[in-house]
Amino acid sequence: MKIPAIFLLLLGSVASQADPPNVLFIAVDDLRPELGCYGESHMVTPNIDSLASQGRMFRNHYVAVPTCGASRYAMLSGIRPTASSDDNSAFNAMPSSLPANPESWVDLLRRNGWHTVSLGKVTHEPDGYRWNYPSTYDINRQYATNPDMRFSWNEILYDHDKWGAQRYPLFAYADGTGRVRGSTPAWEMGVDGQGQSLPDEAYPDGQMAQAAIEKLREFKDDGTRFCLAVGFFKPHLPFNAPKAYWDLYDPATLPAASPTSKPTGANSATTTNSGEIGSYTNGSDRDQLRHAYFACVSYMDAQVGKLLTELDALGLADDTIVVLWGDHGWCLDDYGLIGKHKVLERSLEAPLIIRPQASYRAEAYAGIQANGVVETLDIYPTIAELCGLTMPAGPDGSSLVPMIRNPYAPGKNHAYSRYGSLTTIRTPDWRLIQAGGDYDLYDLSNYRYEVADVSGSNSSTVASLSADLSTQGQRSGITYNVWANGNPSLTDPTADADKDGVANLLEYAFGSNALSAISVPDFTISNQDLTSIGFTANELVVKYVIDTTSDDLTLAPEMSTDLTTWNSTLLQFLDASDLGGGKHELRYRVNSAANRLFFRGKIFQQTTP
């Protein structure tokens, strides 16, 4: 095959931020990464999968606390959990009088002109307000007091509909009843009197989706800059969903729990079962519970799809940040356990998907998952940066914007979580759990779930990681100024310090040595045999190396057939190889038979509004 003429055009350019974006934040209760986009091929989740294909999916996202209230408090406040904020009373720590600094990232937006709306379970209470209710959480709520967050929302919306305000909204059955501890089932297949599937609106999540759509239309009509936070209840117990979503799964083909037993040598305090399932009458059938959970996930996915479809239809998608976040994981007979409330991987891992506004999207990297370790605390500074706002003092996380631009940017050295007296950190390869004076250590480098405690044979690793339990995890990215290190030859990014024809900024982006003329960007175009991955034996492949530690820019490949229209649609991403030292080699297949093709590596440096 004759190689088409391709000219390398390396352009240093600045992408300026447009008007401040809207924010659509979707919180999902008890959602573990049981989604198609997370590699779970048995799952039917086309809408969330589509969102992930357009934005950034974080494969190794960990929550601060594996229980609803404390996890949501950490997410909204950005504050690392302590013994006083690691249970469902965490929102008691929210201020009762107007604070000098924002109480949450939502409050930060509100103070800067966003109209903020809560719908559903965004904080701990399903309708946003603290109620006087029995300790069972079931029925006979008597009166609402204050919101969980008093200074964050312009509006708190929720319609209790047929269930009434006295019933705890999270535990709704289709007939208008709610949970009665010890008397009601752990799952319900929603059917009408003829055995046909009930509509989505038979349960609260379907109703909330419609309410959110109406609110989006209102924002569009008014031209309001908004932050709409929607909190879907499912897949929280009870696992109730219309029959149509149960029918998506054949119980005979569903995968078994994994791992199947408790980790060998684990401290017994780390493998206790949650008592939550004991509130229901039919929780002992684990296979049925798994089927019911999967049905609820697909039901919730359909509601997410309605919101995203409406956002597109209203022409708001390019101007809106969309975040989908699960508040913690859940054990579905994994380790032989049921529920959350554990500091093991299955309870602490949760989905995090961020699709930024269009000005922040590098289409060549769309849909590529980020594998670096991140944590829920990072959501606050990420939204602040995407919105062009200055972070106040107090929150502890790190912005994930560099990883949104470039999925190969480094994650954090560790994520910290706790529950009760148990504390843990997760690194790319290890999980260390502290239970009193005892430590459990798990090697997760080859299999992501805990199988056997190896602390006895890895004392030096235990010592090193135990010291990190008291420190906040950090990312390791750098900026151009740090890279230049005060060298006057590198002060001007458009200059060419070594006179090799490559600007300093491009040397920084590609990871070459800007002070050595023999060190130039590693870029090749060649014909390669790609039959092993479903292509021909003579495919044109673009290969180049980038420095992934660069936090302040994105180098995105683009192609053109006429030097006028440039985009990444002619390039099909193949793979990336970690070369070490903060460098990755990327390969793209040229998806064009044109006689003339032009390639450029375009640098985007983001500026705030």
Q: Which of 68, 296, 331, 387 is catalytic?
A: 68
* CA distances in angstroms from 111 to 100, 107, 151, 215, 224, listed in the order given: 11, 6, 10, 21, 15
* 426, containing H or E segment: strand 422-426
For residues 116 and 147, what is the distance between their CA atoms, to the nearest angstrom?
14
> Cβ(110)–Cβ(153) under 8 Å?
yes
What HEC string does 220-284 produce?
Answer: HHHCCCEEEEEEECCCCCCEEEEHHHHCCCCHHHCCCCCCCCCCECCCHHHCCCCCHHHHCCCCC
What HEC string does 480-544 produce?
Answer: HHHHHCCCHHHCCCCCCCCCCCCCHHHHHHHCCCCCCCCCCCCEEEEEECCHHHCCCCCEEEEEE
Q: Which of 124, 236, 291, 414 is catalytic?
A: 124
The candidate with the shortest Cα–Cα distance to 56, out of 409, 365, 329, is 365
Tell me, rounded to whole angstroms, the distance of Cα 495 from its chain centroid. Answer: 38
* CA distances in angstroms from 555 to 57, 357, 510, 604, listed in the order given: 19, 18, 8, 6
The candidate with the shortest Cα–Cα distance to 328, out of 72, 58, 122, is 72
Q: How many CB atoms lie within 10 A of CB 342?
A: 27
For residues 102 and 94, what is the distance between their CA atoms, to the nearest angstrom?
10
| Alpha helices (runs of H) in 98-160, residue ranges in sequence order | 105-111
124 is catalytic: yes
The candidate with the shortest Cα–Cα distance to 215, out of 139, 124, 348, 314, is 314
Q: How many CB atoms lie within 10 A of CB 481?
A: 12
User: Residue with structure tokens 């600094």?
Assistant: 101
Please give the backbone phi and psi of residue 191, each rounded to the nearest 5 degrees, phi first.
-130, 155
68 is catalytic: yes
Tokens of 331: 């054990």
* 298, containing H or E segment: helix 286-313
Surface-to-core class of residue 48, CB atoms within 10 Å of its CB (0-12 exposed, 13-18 middle, 19+ buried): buried
For residues 174 and 387, what is the distance between their CA atoms, to the nearest angstrom?
40
Residues 6+ apart with CB under 8 A from 228: 22, 23, 24, 25, 117, 119, 212, 215, 216, 219
**Catalytic positions, please?**
68, 124
